[in-house]
């Protein structure tokens, strides 16, 4: 097939534009300080969270040099702990469960998002990048206070982050 040079130029320009759009979309999804890397579920008794070593005291724990685990309870109409505080440039695994109804757990403006179902522990691992504050929103309708159910994730600069010592 013969293609005129003039058409070739337009084809090349169209390709460049497509790659440009894809780059913009990808950049928008990942370059906001948090990158979601995995997501899965486990089971739990929703009526006995206060007897579960992970959720009796919702908290953030350091489990490795740059690794943290956050045990989060989503319930009508709060997230605990609030705020959730972690350092930048770390791997944070959130374990989120609910004692009452289905909630959502979404770090606003990122693709870190999971459904929180009573009886299940949603597990969500993210890489934190830049320091900053992110809203945590419930994106599943959970009752009259759904629209006010929100929390906060604070990503501290690494050199300013200290784990609270509760011994």
User: Which residues bind to ligand CUA, rule: CB under 6 A?
Assistant: 77, 103, 138, 140-142, 146, 149
d(CA 128, CA 88): 5
Least distance between ligand CUA and beta carbon 160 (Å): 31
Nearer of residues 115 and 154 to ligand CUA, judged by Cβ: 115
The CA distance from 128 to 110, in Å, is 11
Distance in Å, CB of 162 to ligand CUA, minimum: 30
Residue 77 vs 161, nearer CB to ligand CUA: 77
Give the nearer residue to ligand CUA in terms of CB position, either 5 or 144: 144
| Shorter beta-carbon distance to ligand CUA: residue 90 or 97 | 97
Minimum Å gap between C-beta 80 and ligand CUA is 13
CB of 140 to ligand CUA, least distance (A): 5
């Amino acid at each position: 097939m013969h293609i005129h040079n003039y058409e070739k130029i337009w084809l090349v320009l169209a390709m460049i534009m497509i790659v440009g759009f894809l780059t913009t979309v990808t950049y928008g999804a990942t370059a906001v300080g948090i990158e979601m890397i995995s997501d899965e579920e486990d089971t739990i008794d929703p009526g006995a969270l206060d007897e579960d070593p992970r959720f009796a005291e919702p908290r953030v724990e350091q489990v490795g040099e740059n690794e943290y685990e956050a045990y989060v309870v989503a319930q009508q109409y709060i997230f605990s702990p609030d705020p959730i505080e972690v350092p930048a440039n770390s791997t944070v695994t959130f374990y989120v469960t609910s004692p009452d109804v289905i909630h959502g757990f979404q770090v606003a403006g990122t693709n870190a998002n999971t459904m929180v179902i009573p009886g299940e522990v949603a597990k969500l691992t993210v890489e934190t990048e830049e320091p900053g504050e992110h809203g945590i929103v419930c994106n599943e309708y959970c009752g009259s206070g759904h629209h006010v159910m929100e929390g906060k994730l604070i990503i501290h600069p690494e050199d300013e982050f200290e784990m609270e010592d509760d011994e």
